[in-house]
Structure 1
Amino acid sequence: MAAENNSLDPYEFIHSSLNPDGTLARDPEAFVTTPPDISKDIPINPANNTWARVFLPKQPPPNKLPLLLYFHGGGFVIGSPDLANFHEFCSNIATELPVILVSAGYRLAPEHRLPAAYDDGMEALRWVKTVQDDWLRDNADYSNCFIMGSSAGGNLAYHVGLRAAQETDHLSPLKIKGLILHQPYLGGVRRTESELRIVNDPFFPMAVSDLMWELCLPVDADRDHPYCNPTAGFGVLEKMKQLGWRVLVTGCDGDPMIDRQMELAKMMEKKGIKVVGRFGEGEYHGFEIIDSSKAKPLHLVLLNFISNSI
């Protein structure tokens, strides 16, 4: 096991600094954004400054397409739907897959600690079914809805799924068919083997993960809080099983969180959830977002998962 690099400044790594009042100063030059192209931006809750970027296929679809609600990553402290990497990732999915994709933003920590992001995720789900928008109304099949997220967004998608399963009667006409947890961001008090083995991962070192959990979890919560470590409790999964949802969990063995992602998949399987695990060799946390040329295999996995869930 590697010795942890104590010289790393995790704030510098995320191009941010902590203000005296506990808020985060994020370097705007480090976070390149992209304007809409085959997409458009729609407000969700102006009071919270939350909004969504809706992506359409390049060619008008002959029939209505499955609706994919997506949440970006960033450890709950950085990121937005228009961040260049997330925009490109979503744009490519909308180009390669027959889906209508809605990339929804959420409030960030430490200004808004969890469960604020989960609250915003549920608000986005309710907003999708009520917003009067012709792109969604004319092209999205609300009876085939999937909730997806990458990294922190994968964590968010899981917790939104737990909530949504309890109120499906109030989400009509939306009918959720499954969750897609793309390299979900998870943690715990004790380091796993993969966290110890890849503690100095150049793409997502554990010191940075530790900082993000410190900034986003409720004050005084440790990392066995269910928001961080779903396997420690808070697993009300029976309703999800009854609804027949399928769950896709992806990961790779170059990601420090691979052990936790596999453990989450096993926990859901034991509860009777239909889980599809896609765990590859090599690569690193967020590789399909950082390098779009590596996302083609994921597109095929998503296509098969969605097609087999409808």
Structure 2
Amino acid sequence: MDPYKELQIVLNPDGTLTRLLHVPETPPTSDPTLHIPVLSKDIPINQSTDTWARVYLPREALHNSPSSTKQLPLVVFYHGGGFILFSASSTIFHDFCVNMATELRVIIVSVEYRLAPEHRLPAAYDDAVEALHWIRTTQEDWVRKYADFSNCFLMGGSAGANIAYNAGLRVAKEDDNLEPLKIRGLIMIQPFFGGDRRTGSELRLFNDPLFPPCMSDVMWELSLPVGVNRDHEYCNPTVGGGSKLLERIKVLGWKILVTGCDGDQLFDHQMEFVKLLETKDVGVVAHFGEGGFHGVDLRDPVKAKALLVICKDFVLSCLAV
């Protein structure tokens, strides 16, 4: 398999990508007169980096009187795509966020971060953290009026889960600087981790037609800082200073939800990550199923609904503490 052909990308001589894949996009819908369960709108974060956020608001929040409005938990969402593809406006992620806002009754801020290789890591992490500081200071009405800043969750799928984790590590060092934003936990759906050593699940799924190791190899090659290997801490959470910061996450009392399935070549990396969290006595909730594939929760409606139940239970368990 030619991963560049399968991903429909062309690496240009100047180091940029030509992305040939047609990715359907959905515009936001903020008109409260429309009979839809969730309203959405796009708001600029940093014009110099062209980052922005799509905010999702369950319309039921608009029907409460200002004096009786119960603020809703806040989920900050980072989309997947191997750091090189997709957008917060991609239909597959827009629909997922609409369903999540409906089922979990939460405000969602979905972050548009810079993509690699034009902007290699840690650019996406920088944008992820900047979005959190934007949230805590913005005067945007939907966020300020309806979001409960004391109950915030960082969430992502695949590369987005990697971003949520690395952003979490960064802000764990400076928790007071995020006031009044208080993070309760991380929700990591099929997190995108790796390493130089081939794992058993990578070897077993070496010829997987949907997401083989050669495809993730290219994504890491295009997104990691130039000159480093996959045993860099951005890719491999068991190395570097990140594991030390888990002590801080333990002290802060964050809980971490990790989901996956053994039909995903990343399965062994995800299991190693869960073991790392357990070793550090971090409150981790792990849900791993049989079969499936990478991205199954976005493409299989039954799996997607089951995932939302898992996420809802996790959020409620964190709020009960």
- Structure 1 position 233, deviation (Å): 2.8
- Structure 1 position 11, deviation (Å): 1.3
Counterparts of 2:169 and 2:46 in 1: how far apart (Å)?
22
- Structure 1 position 253, deviation (Å): 0.7
Structure 2: unaligned runs, 5 residues or longer: 30-38
Per-residue deviation, residues 43-95 of structure 1 (Å, max 9, x unmatched): 11111111111001132264101000000000000111001111111111011
Counterparts of 2:162 and 2:261 in 1: how far apart (Å)?
16
- Structure 1 position 293, deviation (Å): 4.2
Question: What aligned pairs does 1:119-268 form with structure 2 within 5 A after superposition?
Answer: 119-234=126-241, 235=243, 236-268=245-277
The answer to whether residue 12 in structure 2 is matched with residue 24 in structure 1 is: no
The answer to whether residue 27 in structure 2 is matched with residue 35 in structure 1 is: yes
Counterparts of 2:208 and 2:299 in 1: how far apart (Å)?
15
- Structure 1 position 232, deviation (Å): 2.3
Amino acid at match of 1:22: G
Structure 1: unaligned runs, 5 residues or longer: 1-7
Amino acid at match of 1:79: F
- Structure 1 position 289, deviation (Å): 1.2
Counterparts of 1:293 and 1:252 in 2: how far apart (Å)?
15
- Structure 1 position 269, deviation (Å): 1.2
- Structure 1 position 98, deviation (Å): 1.3
The answer to whether residue 292 in structure 2 is matched with residue 283 in structure 1 is: yes
Amino acid at match of 2:133: R
TM-score, L = length of structure 1? 0.95
The answer to whether residue 20 in structure 2 is matched with residue 13 in structure 1 is: no
- CA-atom RMSD in angstroms: 1.1
User: In structure 1, the residue corresponding to 2:60 is in which secondary structure?
Assistant: coil
- Give me the identity figure in percent: 57
TM-score, L = length of structure 2? 0.92
Q: Residue 303 of structure 1 is aligned with which of 306, 309, 312?
A: 312
Larger relative contact order, structure 1 or 2 (CA cutoff 8 Å, min sep 6): 1
Counterparts of 2:210 and 2:77 in 1: how far apart (Å)?
22
Amino acid at match of 1:266: K
CA contact (8 A) 1:70 1:101 kept: yes
- Structure 1 position 136, deviation (Å): 0.8
Q: How many residues align?
A: 302
Deviates most, 36-45 or 151-160: 36-45
The answer to whether residue 303 in structure 2 is matched with residue 294 in structure 1 is: yes
Per-residue deviation, residues 199-254 of structure 1 (Å, max 9, x unmatched): 12222111110000000001110010010011123212111010011000010010
Q: Who is 1:5 aligned against?
A: none
The answer to whether residue 51 in structure 2 is matched with residue 50 in structure 1 is: yes
Amino acid at match of 1:240: I
